Amino acid sequence: MRAVILSVLFVCAAALAGCEDDMAANDDPAWFESPRQAVEAITVMLEARGWPALARYYDLEGSGIERAQLVSGEFFYRTERPEAAHPGGFWRYKHPFHPAFHYAWSEPAGESGIVKVTLEVEIDQGEGSPVQRGMAEFRMRESEHGYQILPN
């Protein structure tokens, strides 16, 4: 058990170290090395509510979405509970995913340079209940620089 905890702490520390420069206030665009690395780094930024850093990784071209919506956090995080809300708080995160989700796989999405990233989550309902599994997905654009998140 101790080894597992130490492994988790190491992964979190490595992810945070990789995002340290990205968490600084900066408007320059940024790219991820791979969809798998993107999910790990995005999770860290979502948990830290690092909206300005996360906004740098979005390709907003042609979306009609203003970067200010991302920087403020309103694009990513909801504060008012909707009528039909999951009790686990999944409703709080609007885009790209709730931090409880983990990378499952990625594949071409049909359009040139567009990749669909699929995520999964397991929810333990307690003793005697089956584990619930959920899936989510978001899209990224691959370029010569790396991968950026698409807002829709």
Structure tokens at 90: 């999944």
Model confidence at 149, pLDDT cuts 50, 70, 90, reads very high
- The pLDDT of residue 19 is above 50: no
Q: What is the reported pLDDT for 10?
A: 42
pTM: 0.76
Q: Which domain holds residue 40?
A: 2-149
- CATH code for position 67: 3.10.450
Looking at per-residue pLDDT, the higher value among 67 and 89 belongs to 67
Least confident of 42-56, 58-72, 90-104, 135-149: 90-104
Rounded Cα distance between 36 and 105, Å, is 8
Q: What is the reported pLDDT for 86?
A: 61
- The pLDDT of residue 117 is above 50: yes
Model confidence at 25, pLDDT cuts 50, 70, 90, reads low
Rounded Cα distance between 112 and 44, Å, is 29
User: What residue has token string 């049909």?
Assistant: 110
- The pLDDT of residue 135 is above 90: yes
Model confidence at 141, pLDDT cuts 50, 70, 90, reads very high
- Number of independent structural domains in the chain: 1
Q: What is the reported pLDDT for 15?
A: 46
Q: What is the reported pLDDT for 102?
A: 97
92-108, pLDDT tens digit by residue?
778 999 899 999 999 99
- The pLDDT of residue 127 is above 90: no
- Kind of pairing, strands 132-143 and 114-123? antiparallel
User: What residue has token string 């009790």?
Assistant: 87
Residue 44, CA atoms < 13 Å, CB-side half-sphere: 19
- Kind of pairing, strands 146-149 and 102-108? unpaired
Specify the length of the chain in residues. Answer: 152
